[in-house]
Chain A
Amino acid sequence: MTIASFDQVEFGDELPSFTPDTGLENVRRFAKAAQMMAKRFTDHEGARKEGLPGAMVPGVMSQAILTAMIHRWAPEAALVKIDTIFRAPVMVDEAHEVNGVVTDLDEETKTAEIDLTITNGAGETRVLGTATVRLP
């Protein structure tokens, strides 16, 4: 179910989670559009040469994936602020899950605060953050 207005949102609501495309081809597509064609993002071998375990999803992409989750949940939500902490690398070609839950509501400003996480297959939080969105 998508959210059309502030009145439809309740504290504790979970946003529909989704599995982002963190495959190498898609990350390359992102990197090209974002002009971030560094090998640590686009090439496993190049990333390993830099001492990394493999290519990583750029932090900017992780953040935009979280924002996309918000838009899928509430298409008309206007992002007031998103603040993400990159705790550990989101590795390219590994499965991750994106989650969000509503943790605060302000009726006066019609804003909702959302906890955001990206977790890997082991259930480890790799990216966490919060967003404030204004709803109609």
Chain B
Amino acid sequence: MILDLHSHSIVSDDGRAKVPNYCQWIRKKDLPLDGFVLTEHRKFDFDSDYSALATEFDLTILKASEVETEYGHVLVFGVTRALTEAFDFSDIGLPLAKVLEESERHGAVAVPCHPGRTRVGMCAHVESLGIPAGVSIVEVFNGGSRGTEDDAARALAETQGYRGIGGSDAHIVSHIGRCATAFPGAIGTEAELVEALQAGEFEAKSWKSKSSESSS
């Protein structure tokens, strides 16, 4: 099963895509995606219910968050109401250690995203802050990466032994599915996604260039 693990809708301040249009786009363009995860900036969207859309388009639509730490941006999968009370998702200077620790305590998984990006990626902060403890997965393919940012992410993952995921970081409809993550089994809920990430059996995919790349 292939899921785009990083996307934004109009719920994010800089998101311009409506979720039904993501679904239409995936089907119209026959993208090799079975679903996507909405990782809204600095918040968790408790209000939206995409179950009817998921059924209509036969897609898995899950919700997560993208929060901001001193090591850059971090995707949090498996967000619960209790986790949103454990730290302030809107804080743009969260300590990564707290995000990792609280995520684990609440059965969620925290994944630094676009680590190769300046300022908002983990690589930029490793020299001054050191390698953070507790990271086991990073995003190695990001649809919004420029230049060698994904190369830096993959190098970090290789040297530190991190597993790698992929996500488009789509903010507009037509960018969905540029990168994604392949899992061996079916995933239908946030809890199943967390379980699959914890199991460590997944492979990052990128369709940004003509030739498909992959990295586990």
Instruction: Report A-B touching, CB under 8 Å.
Output: yes
A128 CA to B144 CA, complexed, in Å: 11
Residue in B25, B174, B208 whose Cβ sees the most chain A Cβ within 10 Å = B174
Q: Which of B151-171 contact A (CB under 8 A)?
A: 171
Contact yes or no, B144 A103, CB < 8 A: no
| Nearest A residue to B208, CB-CB | A123
Contact yes or no, A104 B144, CB < 8 A: no
| Nearest B residue to A129, CB-CB | B16
The answer to whether A125 and B144 touch (CB under 8 A), given A103-B174, A104-B18, A104-B173, is yes
Q: Does A130 contact B (CB under 8 A)?
A: yes
Distance between B195 CB and nearest chain A CB, rounded to angstroms: 33
| Nearest B residue to A87, CB-CB | B144
* Interface residue tally for chain A (C-beta within 8 Å): 18
- B173 neighbours in A (Cβ, 8 Å): 101, 103-104, 115
Q: Does B146 contact A (CB under 8 A)?
A: yes
Contact yes or no, A12 B147, CB < 8 A: no
Contact yes or no, A11 B24, CB < 8 A: yes
* Interface residue tally for chain B (C-beta within 8 Å): 19
A101 CA to B16 CA, complexed, in Å: 14
- A12 neighbours in B (Cβ, 8 Å): 24-25, 28-29
Q: Does B191 contact A (CB under 8 A)?
A: no
Contact yes or no, B144 A83, CB < 8 A: no
- Looking at chain B's contact residues, is the secondary structure mostly helix, strand, loop, or mixed? loop
Q: Does A50 contact B (CB under 8 A)?
A: no
Q: Which of A72-86 contact B (CB under 8 A)?
A: 83, 85
The answer to whether A103 and B146 touch (CB under 8 A), given A12-B28, A123-B208, is no
Distance between A102 CB and nearest chain B CB, rounded to angstroms: 9
Q: Which of A109-133 contact B (CB under 8 A)?
A: 113, 115, 117, 122-125, 128-130
Interface residues of B (CB under 8 A from A): 14, 16-18, 21, 24-25, 28-29, 144, 146-147, 171-175, 208-209
Provide 19 A-B residue pairs closer than 8 Å at the C-beta atoms, listed in order of the A residue.
Answer: A11-B24, A12-B25, A12-B28, A85-B14, A101-B174, A103-B17, A103-B24, A104-B21, A113-B21, A115-B16, A115-B172, A117-B174, A123-B208, A124-B147, A128-B16, A128-B171, A129-B172, A130-B16, A130-B172
Chain A to chain B: the 9 pairs with minimum beta-carbon distance, closest first? A103-B173, A12-B28, A115-B174, A115-B172, A130-B16, A124-B146, A101-B174, A104-B21, A103-B21
